[in-house]
Amino acid sequence: MKKSLLFPLILMLTACATPVPVKQRWPDVPSVLMERCPPLKQIPVDRAGLRDMLITVIENYAVYYQCADRMHTWQEWYTQHQKIFQEVNQ
């Protein structure tokens, strides 16, 4: 009885004592987050009135600030978490 319990115990202890190097690496950025911002609209030449210009400028500001805010937030999150990952894995 003792021999039958001793062999699995020795096997488990020696298997756990074997050093296995584990190297973690920081994950790459998902391609969805690397998409470019949409191009800004241009004022049509045939409708270059003040109203059309104002509408186009307002739409461009909205698109720009949405994209800039998304990119800034993503970059901030990424750099903070990369720094934490590197500190933990030193």
Question: Is there a contact between 64 and 37 (Cβ–Cβ < 8 Å)?
Answer: yes
Q: How does DSSP classify residue 17?
A: T
Digits of tens for pLDDT over the chain (90 positions)?
555 666 676 666 665 555 666 677 777 777 777 778 888 898 877 877 888 889 999 999 999 999 888 888 888 888 898 898 888 877
Q: How far apart are CA 62 and CA 56, in angstroms?
A: 10
Residue 50 lies in a domain: yes
- Give the pLDDT confidence score for residue 4 in this predicted structure: 66
Helical spans, DSSP H, in 1-90 = 2-16, 50-88
User: 27 is written with which tokens?
Assistant: 């994950």
Q: How far apart are CA 70 and CA 61, in angstroms?
A: 14
Residue 15 lies in a domain: no
Which residue range(s) make up the domain with 33?
Answer: 27-88
Into how many domains does the chain fold?
1
pTM for this structure? 0.54
